[in-house]
Homo-oligomer: A and B are copies of this chain.
């Protein structure tokens, strides 16, 4: 029935209730850097507990632990699509990569090195942030020296701004600009969906236009409808290897309040899920879910939604891998 070793299956809720036991991502085994079975992992879930690049409200450094905790409420099968990810692919919780909480550049180096190692072993990563700058070292680690990836990006901000404070290029406002400039992403295969809120200026939109990056504002998303926009997203991504980055602030703050820079007017929960299910068939080789900030998530809803979205991302990655 299942092609994976029982070792790579979640602890069953029948055996140990879901509120019990150590909290690993989806109750999977923890397979750290020195674990003897690391090379057998096909999809690894990784936490990047860092928020040193936020320009507004911090807290996303606490995201991975909250997402792990919430993810223990998940079960084995996607009720809507029938996918059973753990039967199909060897999955594991690879732990967190240690940041330097007081130094952005040092942290980026640590993260990049980890992902380069993962890539070398052929493990596909599903990442839990951390702030959105974390996506940059993931891409550096995975792509450097290889062809650029396509990108499907859900967010209320483009993260294509040039400079924030005091001349520092790298904040959570510009990872995708830098990634394009470094050749890690192919702008012709990039789409950003859900953009909204107030802005300072149009520097991001100008950059997108100049580079051929497609931006779908929230108003357009709802006016055209999710199926139509997601069909366009599938076209843009094409058949090539594609990265999926999901900033939880894509979702409306009434649904996902626990984030640093919420903007009103986003999708409700079922739409937040629907956009992912519409991407079945896209060749998603890696993905992340970022900007969950537990100190602003008193009721824990944002973490529970984030974990549920990570399960959908995992199912997409499994289908992409298994074919």
Contacts and interface: CB of A to CB of B under 8 A. Distances in A.
A270 to B, nearest CB: 4
A120 interface: no
A188 interface: no
A96 B47 CA distance: 23
Interface in A16-40: 16-24, 30
Interface string A1-26: 00000000000111111111111100
Interface in A64-108: 64-65, 68-69, 73-80, 93, 95-96, 98-104, 106
Number of copies: 6
B305 A253 contact: yes
Interface string A280-293: 00000000000000
Given A170-B102, A218-B270, A296-B299, A23 B59 contact: no
Interface stretch (A139-147, A161-169, A236-244): A161-169
A208 B130 CA distance: 37
Given A13-B200, A199-B76, A20 B99 contact: yes
Interface string A174-204: 0000000000000000000001111111100
B22 A23 contact: yes
Nearest to A75: B198
A125 interface: no
Interface string A258-271: 00011011101110
Contacts of A171: 102
Contact of A22 (B24, B217, B218, B299): B24
Interface in A214-269: 217-219, 222, 252-255, 257, 261-262, 264-266, 268-269
A49 B165 CA distance: 14
A166 B295 CA distance: 26
Given A49-B17, A305-B253, A165 B56 contact: no
A52 interface: yes
A112 interface: no
Interface in A46-66: 47, 49, 51-59, 61-62, 64-65
Contact of A58 (B21, B59, B196, B261): B59
A269 B52 CA distance: 30
A154 interface: no
Interface in A106-156: 106
Nearest to A170: B102
Contacts of A199: 75-77, 79
Contact of A200 (B64, B77, B104, B269): B77
Given A22-B24, A79-B197, A198-B311, 10 more contacts: A14-B165, A17-B56, A18-B56, A19-B62, A23-B69, A58-B61, A79-B199, A103-B166, A103-B168, A268-B268
6 contacts: A23-B65, A23-B68, A80-B219, A102-B165, A103-B165, A295-B296
